[in-house]
Structure formats: C-alpha cells, structure tokens
Amino acid sequence: MVHPAILDWPEEAADEQPLALWDAESIAAATGGTVRGEFQVSGVEIDSREVGEGDLFVALKGAEMDGHRFVAGAFERGAAGALVSQPVDGPHVLVEDTQAALEALGAAARARADMKVVGITGSVGKTSTKEALFAALDRASRGAAHASVKSYNNHTGVPLSLSRTPARSAFGVFEMGMNHAGEIAALTRQVRPDVAIVTAIAPAHIENLGSEESIARAKAEIFQGLAPGGIAIIPADSPHCRTLFAMAEADGAKVVTFGLDEKADIKLLERVIMRDGGSLLTVQVHERRLCFSIGNPGRHWISNALAVIAACDALGTDLGAAGLALAELEGLPGRGARHTIAVNDGEALLIDESYNANPASMRAALAQLGETEATRRIAVLGAMKELGEHSDRFHAELADPLFEANVDRAILVGPEMHALAERLGKERSDSLGKTVQFTHCETASAARAALDEIDLAKSDAVLVKGSNSVGLAALVAGLTGGD
C-alpha cells in the first residue's frame, strides 16, 4: 500500500525536465544540425582523453588540431555520440561549424534551465570564489547547483560549461577570464548572469592591456550581459571601485560592495585566526550580522568569503548554508591545497599554489605563508608571466613580502626572477636584520634539485607558487607522490 503522503508529494517544474543531459534530437534542434543515429548523453567533452561513458564528444577544429581525428578514440572510451562538421562512423549530429554549435548548445542549456546565474571575473580569486560559491549554493539547493569546472573560462570553456548544465539546475556559477579587452563582453552575452562578481583588480595580463585602469574596464564588461534587474558585486577596497561602480550603474545594475571598507555593504567586522589556520569572521550583511568560519587559511580568503556571502544574499539563499560550506571548503589543487609530506624526521607542510601567479596573488600567498606556524618557511617562486615592460619591477617588489613573511629560504625559478635575485643580493637583510637566503634557477627541475639540497625537516612549511607555464606543478607532484 502506498502512503497517502507520498501520493501528495508536491510537483515542481523541474520534474518535467528530462533526466538525460541531451538527446540527439535536442542537440540538433539547438545547433541546427542533422541527426545521424539516435543517442542520449550524460555529459559533454571536447578533449577525447577526458571522455567518459555516455559523453557527447565535440570535435572542435583549431589552427593546429582537428578534433575529428580523435572521434574514433572518443567512441572507444565510451562516448555515446559526437558533434561533428563532417560525417564519421558512429551516432552523431552533423553541423557546419562545431565551435558555433557548441556555443548554440550552451545557449540552449542556459535558456531551458529555470535557474539563477552568477558570473564571476577578476584578476585573482576567480576560481576559488567560484568553487566556494558553488559549494554554498549546492548546499542551499540540496544538490541543484551547477558550475564550470577547473578554469574553463575562455571562448571554449564557457560554452562548454554552459552546455553541461542539467535542465533541472536551480543555480549556475560560471567563471569568465580574459587576456584582451572585449573578451569578457563576448562571454557575458552567453552567460547572461543575474548576479555578476568582480573579485579584484590586479596587474594580471597588464602586458596586453597596458594599465590597471584598462584591466578594470575590461573586467567591468561582465556587467554588459546582466539580466534585467541584475546585481553587480564589486570590491569596495579596490582603488578601481569607482570605475567598476560607474560602469555597473551605466549598464543598469544594482551595485553591492564588499570588503573591509567602512562603507561596504558586506563588510568584515572582526577576524580571529584559528589554530588550524582558518578564520572565524564576523560580517555585517546590510542590517544583519553573520558569524561563520572559513577553513582555508590566508587573508585573501576573507575577500573570497565576503564575495560569496554577498552573492548568496543577492540571490536570497540560506546564508547559514553558505557559512557551513565555507567552513568545510578545502584548498584546490594548484590554488592553496595543503599537503603533509614525509621528511627524514617527521612531516612538513606543502602549500600548492602552482597553477598561476601575478603580483597580487604572490603577495597574498606569501602573507599566508607568513601566518603559518613553521620551523622554517621556504618559498619556491616561479616567474610571473604577461607583465611586459613592468616585469622587472613587479618581480623585484616581491622582496618586501618575502621579508614580511619571515621566509628563511627562497628558490626563484625562471629568467624573469633575475630582478628579484638581484635585489635580494643587494639587500641581504631587511631593516630588522632578517636575512632571506636564496637560489636562482632557470627551470622547475633545477628548482627541485635546489629544494632537495635544503634537506626538508620536520615542521618546515614550503610554498610553491608560479605561473602555470613555469611547470612547478611537476615539482608538487614529485613531492606528493603524484608523478
């Protein structure tokens, strides 16, 4: 016998949506393609090496690579169907241009899901804030949130992330990045966010954009795609706050600010550092106060957390669930993940920040290292890329945060680090007589050899940070047994 309460279970609009992510007919309808063989898929993938059982493989054509060469391999790995611009063996949807078709599929996914969407950009903190916000919304919606994975934030990653959105999603969180002006504008028209966050403005990609002011204006393009009545969330502590504020208002957005500034709408009132390195925060949320903890160490996580709370408040979701999610969140690989590694007489701490680096994130990571209890603090710093004519100055200026963090040994990696090595060589100690011993290496493999010579000991803390192209992720993998 079925209990009457079960028969009366309330129906929701999402219940009418299909369980499969896409079927061949819906893909064809979205892309204007032709079906060759019926199929259903549970995922979308553009890298044949990452294809899983039941995926749709999209064969993109690039300047040097044609995905159609890997269609057979994708089917061998379990692909249920393919999106192609030339006939292939196996069930597929045939279109004229697979990149345009991927964008159309993303647009169809955005249109069919009755969800609130958050777009995130900024010079630093995009991916960390995206992951934290996803965790908060997923908890509040009991698993009905969707987010872009990794750093899929460019002209291919954004439509790919959109196309993966389940029709039953209640929230979507999408990251948007750029190297040049105009790129965010194109991406935000696809995402069409209800809430747009700018995490921070820093001299990342300054080689291409020329100045921080230009970077701020390029990031503010995210407001152009806001849905009617959309909300812009911007950092009150940024020197470019007025620029962001004015551009958001010009695009018709309601503006909410976050930060330490007294006039911020979402502002930090008090921070207590906990024994595990996390923080207990008291935050003013308009007229309310909220107390919660963040598990990730570092002052930069305060800004990330405030942005997350601002977004959850703007969306009207459960702030208590957001606080619990922030407390449980752990560091991401390459972006703050902490590893305990075995050394001769015990264990040492490895902080993995190997995915990316710019002057602002370098300072934040070194400040985090300075707050970490350790017998010795060791920094393996890779070069910061795309700084152009400003490169020498920004690298040399890392001497101050090195001294402030009480770093005992520094291993500098890459030719761009010559400017910092030169300054450290001239300034063997700071005003208090603190010395930073350093080694300058050209490659990541040489850095690993230099680190081995230090002979890591119990209670040492090692920070590894640099631009991804320097290759320090391999050093981290070697130390953690990941290679």
CATH number assigned to the domain covering 337-480: 3.90.190.20
Helices and strands, counts by H and E, the chain: 18, 22
Closest CA to 293 of 312, 311, 272, 314: 272
211-240 tens-digit pLDDT: 999 999 999 999 999 999 999 999 999 999
Q: Are the CB atoms for 147 and 131 separated by under 8 Å? A: yes
CA distances for 475 relative to 182, 186, 411, 467, angstroms: 36, 36, 12, 13
Which CATH number is 19-101 given?
3.40.1390.10
Domain extents for the chain?
Answer: 19-101, 113-328, 337-480
The pLDDT, as a whole number, for residue 12 is 59
Residue ranges at the known binding site? 122-128
Is residue 279 classed as helix, strand or coil in its secondary structure? strand
Q: Model's pTM, two decimal places? A: 0.86
- Would you say the CATH fold of 113-328 matches that of 19-101? no
- Binding-site residues for ATP sit at 122-128
Structure tokens at 436: 């930073």
DSSP-derived secondary structure for 350-386: EEEE-S---HHHHHHHHHHHHTS--SSEEEEEEPPPS
Which residues have a Cβ under 8 Å from the Cβ of 5 and sit 6 or more positions away?
none
Tens-digit pLDDT string for the chain (483 aa): 555 555 554 555 555 555 689 999 999 999 999 999 999 999 999 999 999 999 999 999 988 889 999 999 999 999 999 999 999 999 999 999 999 999 999 999 999 999 999 999 999 999 999 999 999 999 999 999 999 988 889 999 999 999 999 999 999 999 999 888 999 999 999 999 999 999 999 887 777 788 999 999 999 999 999 999 999 999 999 999 999 999 999 999 999 999 999 999 999 999 998 877 789 999 999 999 999 999 888 888 999 999 999 999 999 999 999 999 999 988 888 888 999 999 888 999 999 999 989 999 999 999 999 989 999 999 999 999 989 899 999 999 999 999 999 999 999 999 999 999 999 988 765 555 667 899 999 999 999 999 999 999 999 999 999 999 999 999 999 999 865
Per-residue model confidence (pLDDT) at position 427: 72
How confident is the model at residue 352, as a pLDDT? 95
**Backbone torsion region of residue 406, taken as left when φ is above 0, otherwise alpha when ψ lies between -120 and 50, otherwise beta:** left
Rounded to an integer, what distance in angstroms lies between the CA atom of residue 102 and that of residue 92?
Answer: 14
DSSP readout, 294-329?
Answer: E-S-STHHHHHHHHHHHHHHHHT--HHHHHHHHHH-
**Within 10 Å of residue 405's Cβ, how many Cβ atoms?**
22
Alpha-carbon dihedral angle through residues 76, 79, 82, 86, given to the nearest 10 degrees: 0
Nearest to 267 by CA among 302, 292, 301, 239: 302
What CA–CA distance (Å, rounded) separates 323 from 309?
8
CATH topology of domain 113-328: UDP-N-acetylmuramoyl-L-alanine:D-glutamate ligase (3.40.1190)
First to last CA, the chain: 56
Predicted local confidence at residue 179, as pLDDT: 83
